[in-house]
Structure 1
Amino acid sequence: MRFDELKLEDDVLDGLDAMNFIETTPIQELTIPVILEGHDLIACAQTGTGKTAAFVLPIINELSKNQHPDHAVNAIIMAPTRELAQQIDQQIEGFTYFIPVSAVAVYGGTDGVTWEQQKRGLEMGADIVIATPGRLLSHIKLGTVDLSQVSFFVLDEADRMLDMGFYDDIMQVYKQLPASCQVIMFSATMPPKIRTLAKTILKNPEEIKIAISRPPESIMQTAYICYDMQKLPILEDLFSQSKPKRVIIFSSSKLKVKELASTLKRMKFNVAAMHSDLEQAQREEVMKEFKNGRIDILVATDVVSRGIDINDITLVVNFDIPHDPEDYVHRIGRTARGTDGAGVAITFVSVEEQAQFKRIEDFLEKEVYKIPIDTKFGEVPLYEPEKYRQFRKKGSHSRTTKRPAGQKNNPSNKNKTGKPQKKA
């Protein structure tokens, strides 16, 4: 469907035309009419499906009609991270080029000057406030924002906000809103806790679900089955064979990110770390340097796996297995966004992580190709996720069978049907 087939105002369509937005994505086609009709909504859609425009455009459209109060906050969009809040703010800036609709992004990790700018924007009544939960709650407690006239309340990546422990913050903000406020929820997954939240804050909602996205076939997915101590030597050897350029390495914790980045620096690689301990200005500077090509390797926690669009990433490395299969999809989805649409993802799988990695393969409905490991790295474990899962349940740490390095890690290479499995 084309955007001009939707019931959008001419000024909104002019902005879309200027940005070369012609065709809607499936989530936009399904959700924009529902929001325009004033219904509460719960939508299940992944990052990369165009969901930001799906809720931003109808809100901007309604505000452009000048039927909402001036100098008042008319819409609240809550996001789990400052990076996502900034990205939403940037999209709104583009969409409102021909429309007198104002917006302010409110998030933590800033200096006093930025705090004052955010405070001033709230007190003057920006039409749209894009905020992280904790920072918005701080302004509510200080009395610097009035939510009594809000007409639209959006929760973006609601599942991630609940995972980060923001349920109470969300409810405190919700209680400040008028009963007539239209509530819109977007979530990448639909676990029971999201269903419970929806029942609590939504009124007779419409529900829209786009099929869970899986990585594009253009991403070559591979894995090394190894011991934890072998990960770094294999990675160093990989980078010595081919100079790293435009690479993101994901690790599971801030501490591991710091340690890995420091180790790679000592190996003379051009690397920077990205994690939540950095001040906002530092994080923005790191992203700027990486985007400009002055940093070759970005070592990061999952703080950058969602909501940040960086083109021409050649390689994504999962140094540790992500917590959820969906996080795996978000991580490796940072690649294959360049002009050729191709990318490579490599995942290191230690013995302790095999069961988690099998969950990812089950989610993908395919077997990820296991790269044979050179014998110079010593013996490597068999890929036996079911066996290891049983050991974990019994609380045992039984020795895992070894095989000579270089021998294929999955000797049967068959799927559940017994037929040969294609390489990923």
Structure 2
Amino acid sequence: MSAASNTVSRDLLNAARAKKTLDDDQPYSSSSFRATMKQKIEKLCKVSPYDWQLDVSEALCLGLDTLLLAATGEGKSLPFIAPLLHDNNALILIISPLNALEEDLAKRFTGMGFPSIAVNGETWNAKLRTNIENRMHRVLLTSPELALKNVEFRKMISNPSLSKDIRAVIIDEAHCIQQWGGANGFRADWGEVGRLRALVPPSVPFLATTATATPEVQRQIRTSLQFGDDTTYFVNDRHNITSEVHKITHTSSDYSDLDFVVDDALADDREIQKTMIFVDSISETHKIATHLRSRLPNLKRREIAVYHALRTGQAKKKVMRDFRRGKIRVLVTTDACGMGADIPDVELVVQFKVPASLSIWIQRAGRAARSPHIKGRAMLFVEKSVFEIIRPRSKNPPSGDDPPEEVEPLRDREDDNENDDAVSKNATEQVPVGRDGTWRYRKTVEAGLRAYIETMDCRRIVSDQYFDNPERIKALTVVCCDNCEKKALAPQPTSTAQQENATPTNRPTTPVSPPNPEVNSVHSTPSRNHNENGKRPMVLAVPEPDIKPVGARRDKRLAAAREALNNWRHGTWLERYPHASFGPKGLLPDVHLTTIASGARIITLDDLGNALKPRWVFLSVHGPEVLAVVKKADEDFKAEQDQLRDAKKENAKRLKVEQQEREKLEKSQARKAVESASQPEDIIWTQPQVPKSQPSNGVL
């Protein structure tokens, strides 16, 4: 196993150790527990456990809920038996997705000395219940459906006489909670497994294990199982598997791309390497098997077999037994075999046509080289339609005789001598694909898987970021992936001059721009600085670039950019990834959204890649879209600010005119008042009338 990000939450584990000391009223020795557990495992299994396996074992025995993320074949099931080794009366309950996996684990644990039984619709009866109640079985393996819906089983498990001895509930292949559970899932009870807590004492720890779970899936698992935030995480990287991506060169009904599976062995007259070919269609398992058999002599055709859900239980058991023993060399299968198979010596895993998600591909790829003593290959064959882009018909077709183009394969633009196994990163970045773009991919692929397919860097980088894996500390024992192999084989420049002139591997050359008449028409002027000869060299005046980067966005401009990115994030997720194993924040994490929104100097795809730490998984897929979103947000913000500024100017102009009119009116009124005050008023004299009754006094 590669590494663990925090093998176990140390604070939580230390707190549990301290609590153990208080509960037992005597010192608890972690080192003593681990030494004893290591000794018991070595004696029983003939192997020395990893430190992380001892961590999980101790966590379980201390009653801690644990989420274990470990690669297929790394030994996730070994800690299951820790409570049984620690307590001779202990029982454990394991929830498993498939009957085949239940039976396989039951057989293995029984072989270790722990009587185990698969409890399902075929085996459950009154006699089995009596045997369980009489402690004839210490490991019970069942499904969510039976555990939650079978009334008699629920009564048995919740009975204190039995439940007091249950030391752990283990949810194997816990990613099924997200992939299969929920109201719309085809096995909705997987989304309800957390209800099992009501059937057992509160002190019983839950252990959830999976080989593939993104941070969003981990969150859903924790929520469903009522885990706290401090849980255990492990990396799912496999150090002995080389991953490859190849483009299907033939039609979808022609399986010639798989001929190498049998042809290489026939050419060298050797045994066909043990191979699993995964497809997502039952009918296609038979078509591929028929095609491969047609290339073999009659006696060897029986070495090709199919495995899927519609085969009878007896037939599936026989196929798996013969495949395990090596009688069957090539198994063409659906996901029905993906989680139920524990075959340590599979050398080659092939996925023909893209699966629903990167998580599913990594899960299936992990079926290769489960034994650490062999080297394996995992090959993903991708349809042409994954690389093709669609341009919608224009409502107003362009003038001319040529009709609007509908479908354009990206690879057709490239040199015929280029490797055709993966799409060019440069081609991908130059094609605008998105909700508001002109182009769309012909086949919709989960963003994480598309990034994995299209990357020209190490494919492990993409998967590490997708699953939020910690840095690996275990050295690879094989070539990492096909991209790393190509880089290793590429000729390296030997001299300094060659290094300076060499074009970096997998990096597009900078196109030579045509002469700019505006630049060439500008007169040269002497430089202000003298050169080493004391001269002022002539310099060519170059116009300012069209795009002028400014400083960091702030205030309303920052808020506008954040809102635009958030709307894009939710809209893109709803349109393209509604059934993905991650949410909108998995598509564009908050830390990246904040960096992009605040960084006004991020203009090109290289700027974006350099600014986002850790590297954004979907950079090559959605980088151009995001740049377009923030550019439009800036343009809209500028247009709004210009509009506000213009409105402000118009308002100021209007107020100025109104003020001028008001002042003019006031001056006019004042002038009239002055003129009116300077003129004499008209005086009217009225001769007084003497009353007739008044006598005259004789005065004239």
Instruction: Give the TM-score normalised by structure 1.
Output: 0.71
Q: What is the aligned partner in structure 2 of residue 182 from structure 1?
A: 205
Percent of pairs identical after alignment? Answer: 18
Q: Which residues in structure 2 correspond to 1:299-338 (within 5 Å)?
A: 299-306=332-339, 308-337=341-370
Q: 1:237 to 1:137 in 2, by over 3 A?
A: same
1:248 aligned residue? 276
Deviation of the 1:251 alpha carbon: 0.7
**CA shift for structure 1 position 387:** 7.0
2:252 aligned residue (220, 229, 232): 229
Q: Residue 93 in 1 paired to residue 93 in 2?
A: no
Match of 1:383 in 2: 423
SS of match in other structure, 2:156:
coil
Distance across 1 between alignment mates of 2:458 and 2:168? 48
More strand by share: 1
**Aligned ranges 1:238-277 → 2 under 5 Å:** 239-243=262-266, 244-265=272-293, 268=296, 269-270=301-302, 271-277=304-310
Native 8 Å contact 2:255 2:291 kept in 1: no
Structure-2 change in CA distance of 1:272 and 1:414 (3 Å) = closer
Shift of 1:94: 4.0
State yes or no: 1:346 paired with 2:379: yes
Partner of 1:422: 484
SS of the residue corresponding to residue 200 of structure 2 reads coil
CA contact (8 A) 1:75 1:151 kept: yes
Q: Is structure 2 residue 69 aligned with structure 1 residue 44?
A: yes
Structure 2 residue matching 1:51: 3-state secondary structure:
coil
Superposed counterparts of 1:2-81, under 5 Å: 7=33, 13-14=39-40, 16-22=42-48, 24-54=49-79, 56-64=80-88, 66=89, 74-81=91-98
Superposed displacement of residue 249, structure 1? 0.8
Partner of 2:686: none
Which digits, 9 at most, give the CA deviation of each residue in 1:96-149, with x for residues without a partner?
x3xxx54322245x4xxx444755544545333111222334543566733331
Post-superposition shift, 1:295?
1.8
Q: C-alpha deviations, 1:221-277, integer Å up to 9, x for none?
A: 352443543750222365334333422111123332233334444555432111122
Determine the structure 1 residue equivalent to 2:322.
Answer: 289
Q: CA deviation at 1:28?
A: 0.8
Range that drifts further, 136-145 or 284-293 = 136-145
CA distance, structure 2, for counterparts of residue 136 and residue 168 of structure 1:
13
Instruction: Give the number of the structure whose alpha-carbon radius of gyration is greater.
Output: 2
Gaps of 5+ in 1: 69-73, 356-369, 401-409
| Mapped contact 2:178–2:221 kept (Cα < 8 A) | no
Q: Measured at CA, do residues 85 and 422 of structure 1 come closer, stay the same or move farther in structure 2, by a change above 3 Å? A: same
Aligned equivalents of 1:398, 1:38: Cα separation in 2: 49
CA positional deviation for 1:20 = 0.9
SS in 2 for 1:145: helix
| Paired residue secondary structure (2:158) | coil
Contact 2:349 2:364 survives alignment (8 Å) = yes
In 2, Cα distance between the equivalents of 1:76 and 1:292?
30
What's the offset of the Cα at 1:21? 2.5
- Tell me by how many angstroms 1:350 deviates: 0.9
1:210 Cα deviation from its structure 2 partner: 1.7
In structure 2, the CA distance between the partners of 1:328 and 1:415, relative to structure 1 (3 Å rule), is: closer
The AA in structure 2 aligned to 1:318 is Q
Per-residue deviation at 1:279? 2.8
State whether structure 2 residue 232 is matched by structure 1 residue 208. yes
Greater shift after overlay, 279-288 or 141-150?
141-150
Structure 1 CA distance for aligned equivalents of residues 258 and 37 of structure 2: 51
- Secondary structure of 1:277 counterpart: coil
Aligned to 1:162: 178
Query: What's the RMSD between the two structures over aligned residues?
Result: 4.1
**In 1, distance between residues paired with 2:429 and 2:151?**
52
Q: Secondary structure at the match of 2:322?
A: helix
SS of 1:345's equivalent?
strand
TM-score w.r.t. length of structure 2: 0.46
